[in-house]
Chain A
């Protein structure tokens, strides 16, 4: 049971390193942005896992019902913010990629580096 209870955390760890691996090794900039999204999603999973309480329900008070167990609202709030931060980063990153493609004609970072060196 302990193992099953920690399974979420392991998936978090694995997703995190999959994203990190792709970030390090991939040269395609769009791919890097996707990898960044996986990387960040892993952290979302981590926080939301933390918020779950056994037998709990979403923290919305229903009129007339008492004695409910609510899952922890705080990590959820944090992740709402983090998701927004993530999409903002993605948008900005993509805009930079588009501009890079217009300037260099490629979105592979090793080719961009080679062009920079030549200059």
Chain B
């Protein structure tokens, strides 16, 4: 019986656990309950994925009111992919981040923190299953507010200034999105995605629709940190508690991109003349600039977390570039890269958790010689780093492959785009290798090599994540199937 309610439970379970968590008395208990809820959500997401792959898209009418009157939930391959990312990243970060979070968050405030964590996760899940444009706004705000709380938990005072900036930009982005939804409602009289797409055809006057597309795209681009709207991201990632960064970096921008794709392909694509070209013209130059410039900036960072954050901006550029091609291969590449980048970045930040746990800081200087002190963690970092670069045999390669194949097929500027991708991949090698050299071939601060590896469970977890990068590089059937099904739904309107 419960199997029919999976889409609703996916959101309700973590959401309703959160109020319980804030009532708990100790940080440990709160952490434990949050972890369990997160793992259960992961289980639900897996069940849902299996169901979607078996029987196709799932529809759910909340409250028993059929959409467009009530709010509909829609879970297809794309949603399933994003759900797996969210719940997986959350579970990984919570499981691996206990000690680190215990250092960052004092026991008294910890229940609040874990409550916010669960709400953030539930909000992201809510976005992923939503079939209603306004519902997306509500859950975007839930997750955004909760994410601000998570980031504000950082020990450094700069976390506060970073989170304030994020709050302002995030709110502007969400409000832009809301304006766009308003224009759409004005011209179609409905809020349901599928229904909007259906009724857009009948709208003869397109001026408000174009404005709506503009507001929605720019608003979401702000929240997704597409270059040059990324200014909030590096500091937010850097000063957030390390474990929270694992979670946020792996999925929060991806979910926004998911909405961006949903809107631009399911709603506008095919209904708005010239939209496809306009979308490409708008997004591709920005994506390219992001890919190249953010990679270049990453090279000069002195803090490991900031470096990885700028790398994220570049990687978001890849996703945007692939989506901007508006081709089937391009979308496949975008969706795959969402998955693979989350995997790699999650692992990298998890290693950062371990590094900071033992050496106290994420600045490059304090991490000198860390490869000798923490050989296991550093090796995992290396594996995930290679996946980030796109070395074959790792997950990152699969999406880069799709990306380059898609780009070559794009008429006109294919070669230039390939060149940009290649250059930024090489820059990724440079910034990663700068750290690898530092970790392996320079003397640790204090001169002596003291083995100070983290606890065995954390090490196992890190390696579990690192091996997942390899597993999905050799056997990418699952993300491929989900990405393919997602591409089909996104382009459904076209063919």
Contact = CB atoms under 8 A, between A and B. Distances in A.
Asked if A and B form a direct contact in the complex, defined as CB atoms under 8 angstroms apart, the reply is yes
A32 B168 contact: yes
A96 B148 CA distance: 10
Contacts of B168: 23, 32, 36, 93
Interface footprint category on A: 20 to 34
A62 interface: no
A112 B157 CA distance: 10
B363 to A, nearest CB: 12
Nearest to A35: B168
Interface stretch (B158-166, B262-270, B391-399): B158-166
Interface stretch (B76-84, B177-185, B342-350, B451-459): B177-185
B182 A43 contact: yes
Interface string B137-155: 1100100010011001000
- By secondary structure, the B interface counts as helix
B158 A119 contact: yes
Interface of B: 134, 137-138, 141, 145, 148-149, 152, 157-158, 160-161, 163-165, 167-168, 171-172, 175, 178-179, 182, 185-186, 191
B210 to A, nearest CB: 15
Contacts, number: 72
A29 B178 contact: no
Contact of B172 (A23, A47, A119): A23
A99 B175 contact: no
B172 A20 contact: yes
Interface in A23-72: 23, 29, 32, 36, 39-40, 43, 46-47, 50
Given A92-B167, A96-B152, A50 B182 contact: yes
B160 A103 contact: yes
A39 to B, nearest CB: 6
B161 A109 contact: yes
B141 A85 contact: yes
B172 A39 contact: yes
A93 B178 contact: no
B158 A93 contact: no
A18 interface: no
Nearest to A91: B145
A43 B178 CA distance: 8
16 contacts: A16-B179, A36-B168, A36-B171, A40-B171, A40-B175, A50-B185, A50-B186, A88-B141, A89-B145, A89-B167, A92-B149, A96-B152, A96-B164, A100-B157, A109-B165, A116-B161
A85 B134 CA distance: 13
B145 A88 contact: yes
Contacts of A99: 152, 160
A104 B152 contact: no
Contacts of A103: 157, 160
Most-contacted residue by chain A among B137, B165, B175 (CB, 10 A): B175
